[in-house]
Structure 1
Amino acid sequence: MEKLFEKEGATEQEPTTKKLQAEGKAPQVTSIDLTADSPAPSRKPEEEEDGGSALTLISWNVDGLDTDNLAERARGLCSYLAMYTPDVVFLQELIPPYVQYLKKRAVSYLIIQGSEDGYFTGMMLKKTRVQLLESEIVPYPTTRMMRNLLVAQATFRGVKLRLMTSHLESCKGQAGERMTQLREVTRRMRSAPDDVNVVFAGDTNLRDAEVTAVGLPPAVCDVWERLGRREHCRYTWDTRANSNKSVRYVSRCRFDRVYLRPAARPRVPRLTPDRMALVGLEKLDCGRFTSDHWGIYCCFAVADDDQAT
């Protein structure tokens, strides 16, 4: 797989990867930078006009397991990150060569890997805006696949954060395991101290009936639902619009989701959902999209001490 990115100047081979890390072991953390060799944005994100007080996030399954046009598609991801300059990035279906590519492009982000083998999740934290305190990999004890929950404790402009991403079990027949994983996610969200804002996002593969069966805790909201269930950002897996997978059927699903449990302690800053959009809707020069999933862009307003209740 190392040769997939040779045209991008990746001459170093990916080092031999280690076995999956044991429970409780801190994940590997590497400094990276998004350099200016990505195309410049045609306009500044709205958040910059707000003075940068909002927390911005992109969550995206980048489909690293599809090796066709992988270098071009990774370059496409970097273009979107350069355009939106999100504070937090959650990525799913990373593979080691993809991470090596990101490392070579960068200085201003910190990357945290959910593993080093196979395919895995990752986080990117903007070093000038988000300060990492600690991170951990939480295995799902009953999973048969390479799935876990990646958790980071961090701060953003004085706001305490618990950031969480995962790639839950795939396929309709794995609903039971997927719901077990969702229960662990929501348990971790509930258990955070009441002065901490918890954000979970990722490729959940969830169907609405499965979420109903598990039930979200009262303090946890589905951000898409909270923002009015807008149709334009409903489907993150849409074979009618996305042609990366050659399938004859039409499937439109909201597999990728964002959950928020805001801080509840009085006079503590808390996050509130403000905006959501899908990204990656434009075809690249290679004729394919950045991924078979659309990415999710979210903006969270921060209520200051006087506004928090």
Structure 2
Amino acid sequence: MSNTVMSGNHTDQQMSALEETRTILCDQFASISGSDSAVAQCYLAENEWDMERALNSFFEAHMDSVFDVEEAEETKAVSGNKRKEVNSSDPADASGTKKKFKTDQVDCIDLTAEEPTCSSSVNPQESQAESAVTESNAEDSKLSVISWNVDGLDTLSLAERARGLCSYLALYTPDVVFLQELIPSYIQYLKKRAVSYLFVEGSDDGYFTGIMLKKSRVKLLESEIICYPTTQMLRNLLVAQVTFSGRKLYLMTSHLESCKNQSEERMKQLRVVFQRMRGAPEDATVIFAGDTNLRDTEVVKVGGLPPGVCDVWEQLGKQEHCRYTWDTKANSNKTVPYICRCRFDRIFLRSAETGPRVTPDHMVLVGMEKLDCGRYTSDHWGIYYNNRRQIWI
């Protein structure tokens, strides 16, 4: 009798533990995919409670068709020779009161230009041509960067939002683009339009990070994916070794573990990032940019920034207008019953210890205009950043 009770209790304990484990898996799945617990339970059960398989199955079922309508509409527009003209005399443009960022013109997005933005300011007919060339060369030595969590897991208006991203890339023509929360269909969409960029991807399924390199300005030497051993959200560190203006750069991006209760794992991942930044060659400049999900106290707990590494936002004076990159007060893409303003997206810089020194010059938030669909490009604001002219010391 006693043995039977003990056996029964043991079984109850096992079932309770199993139920708790599966509840945690459902919560993690829902957090990653943006779905609810019922959807999570369905996909996990169908895939024998294997998180990676379940997520891949979800993405394949829900994401691959997102851009089908977009592609069909563009094909129809091209075959029908329908081109929307931009009216320069639009009173909304003239008054400066237009609040929506226009993205509905298929032909307005041109990412094929190989020349950097700064070259357009050089007028070959100017009398002081030599001075203009000198100024242009100085501008050309500046590296420009955009870092953005594009929220590819949110399928609502995704095609319009991806087109919005392309518009910002065409506007800023950054040398390097760090992207987080990409999905396969999203990056395929970008590849068709951003043909002047080389793509380095952190994975080829599920959701992942990526780095875009402007072919005419940045040369890829090699890339590497560093796994986080204890991640529960398929996160990793993507590293690209490149040259820019003949100088070595190590470019890094990551999407550190999400949610408040994943603080310990997030700090483990941050230590890996800092270790890799410190371990880069002395003659290389290192730039990390990504969605860190960090709280300032977590940076303190890991010992602060390593020697020689700066937080770009802090280095530029902690400007209030570009503090919060995830701001539910200003960004309405996510419907949440609370206001949360966080500096999740960050850029860390370690200048080369030998040769030319690099210091931050300018940083602004981008994506703060609503698109024609009534939503923003992402639930995160993007960061645009460039450095000062490299100085030899």
Range class of TM-score, shorter chain? 0.7 to 0.9
Q: Where in structure 2 are the equivalents of 1:32-181 lying within 5 Å?
A: 37-39=107-109, 49=121, 51=136, 52-181=140-269
Summarize the Cα distance change of 1:230–1:158 in structure 2 as closer, same or farther, 3 Å threshold.
same
* Distance in 2, Cα, partners of 1:90 & 1:40: 19
Shift of 1:229: 0.2
Give the residue type in structure 1 aligned to 2:220: L
User: 186, 208, 211: which is aligned to 2:274?
Assistant: 186
Structure with greater contact order relative to length (CA < 8 Å, sep ≥ 6): 1
Secondary structure of the corresponding residue to residue 9 of structure 1: helix
Match of 1:4 among 66, 74, 77: 66
Q: Deviations over 1:89-127 (max 9, x none)?
A: 000000011011112213210001100111000000000
Structure 1 residue 273 corresponds to structure 2 residue 360: yes
Alpha-carbon distance in structure 2 between the residues aligned to 1:93 and 1:303: 32
| Aligned residue identity for 1:116 | D
CA contact (8 A) 1:47 1:53 kept: no
Cα offset for 1:39? 4.6
Alignment partners' CA distance in 2, 1:143 and 1:96: 21
- Structure 1 residue 7: Cα displacement: 2.7
Tell me the equivalent position of 1:242. Answer: 331
Deviation of the 1:47 alpha carbon: 8.5
Q: How many residues align?
A: 278
Structure 2: gaps of 5 or more residues: 1-62, 74-105, 122-134
TM-score w.r.t. length of structure 2: 0.68
Amino acid at match of 1:9: E
SS of alignment partner, residue 379 of structure 2 = coil
Contact 2:142/2:390 (<8 A) preserved: no
On the 8 A contact 2:312/2:360 being kept in 1, the answer is: yes
Q: Which has the larger radius of gyration?
A: 2
- Work out whether residues 47 and 54 of structure 1, in 8 Å CA contact, stay in contact via their aligned partners in 2: no
1:208 maps to a residue whose letter is: D
Per-residue deviation at 1:302? Answer: 3.2
Partner deviation per Cα, 1:28-84 (whole Å, 9 max, x = no partner): xxxxxxxx834579xx96796552221000000000000000000000000000000
1:200 to 281, 288, 293: 288
Describe the SS at the equivalent of 1:216. Answer: coil
- Tell me the distance in 1 between the aligned counterparts of 2:296 and 2:108: 37
Q: Deviations over 1:14-37 (max 9, x none)?
A: xxxxxxxxxxxxxxxxxxxxxx83
CA contact (8 A) 1:269 1:302 kept: no
Quick one: which amino acid aligns to residue 83 of structure 1?
A: L
The 1:37–1:270 alpha-carbon spacing in structure 2 relative to 1, beyond 3 Å, is farther
1:162/1:48 CA distance change after superposition, 3 Å: farther
CA contact (8 A) 2:224 2:238 kept: yes
Report the structure, 1 or 2, having the larger strand content.
Answer: 1
The structure that is helix-richer by fraction is 2
- Segments of structure 1 that go 5 or more residues without pairing to the other structure are 12-35
In 2: Cα distance, 1:37 partner to 1:121 partner: 27
Paired position in structure 2 for 1:16: none
